[in-house]
Structure 1
């Protein structure tokens, strides 16, 4: 056999061995990456559950806040209504007090015993 043919066959054999080693390592690397991705997905699933729980808690808190705001609005409306009633009653009392005072003054003007 010629030397060049032997070197050619040896080079081909080396390339085949290197290709096989590369394929084996690449396969191992992909397998390791798949396994790592699986672990990451498992952790993400746990995080997903936590996030869903937190979102549910946030929705509940928002609903309670909305209900509290609505209740506060109703209470404020009632307070405003009662304040208006109080102002009206106060004005009515003042008007009545003014009429009573006017009656006293009128009586004092008519009464001869009251010194002017």
Structure 2
């Protein structure tokens, strides 16, 4: 073989080597570009996930704050309820004191002359059946039962209470204005 054949074979081998090398470089560039795109997509997904995690953290913080606010409000309502209950108890106690004083001042004996409790079953505290009784009328002794005694915290303790005096009657035959005790 002639020398020029060997030169042509060498040039072809070198060209093939250069083509392979260029092909590998191009493949590496394409692979690197594809990896860059995949990395960018992964970074975008990671950023979206981070934003979602931040949003959920903020929601959790808001939910905790709302729960704390509701707890504080519930404690405040409970405190107010206790205050109202204590006020109602003080008011009832003051009312009972006023009624006791009225009973002491009443020359007719006080509590036995009026109904102080109704058990809701048709019997008052004197043992009389009050199921059919008319609040406007008098009972069998001519007394008007006081069934309007308040038991809630809306009672104004500065009010004055009149003790029923219906058991005193004037005797028109005798003409006395002071009256005599009936019953």
State TM-score, norm by structure 2.
0.42
Match in the other structure for 2:72: 88
Question: What 5-or-longer segments of structure 1 have no aligned partner?
Answer: 1-16
**Matches of 1:25 and 1:107, distance apart in 2:** 121
Question: What 5-or-longer segments of structure 2 have no aligned partner?
Answer: 97-115, 118-183
Mean Cα deviation higher: 26-35 or 50-59: 26-35
Mean Cα deviation higher: 58-67 or 24-33: 24-33
Mean Cα deviation higher: 80-89 or 63-72: 63-72
Greater RCO structure (CA 8 Å; 6+ sep): 2
1:65 aligned to which of 49, 55, 63: 49
Match in the other structure for 1:40: 24
- SS of the residue corresponding to residue 50 of structure 2 reads helix
TM-align CA RMSD: 3.0
- For 1:13-38, what per-residue CA distance to the aligned partner results, in whole angstroms no more than 9, with x for missing partners? xxxx7xx95x7766554433322122
Q: Which protein is richer in helix relative to its size?
A: 1
Match in the other structure for 1:54: 38
**Matches of 1:37 and 1:101, distance apart in 2:** 94
Q: Number of paired residues?
A: 96
- SS of the residue corresponding to residue 35 of structure 1 reads helix
- For 1:73-101, what per-residue CA distance to the aligned partner results, in whole angstroms no more than 9, with x for missing partners? 22222222211211110100111122223
**Matches of 1:95 and 1:34, distance apart in 2:** 90
Task: Pick the structure with greater CA Rg.
Answer: 2
State TM-score, norm by structure 1.
0.60
- For 1:56-115, what per-residue CA distance to the aligned partner results, in whole angstroms no more than 9, with x for missing partners? 21121122122222222222222222112111101001111222232344445456547x
Match in the other structure for 1:75: 59
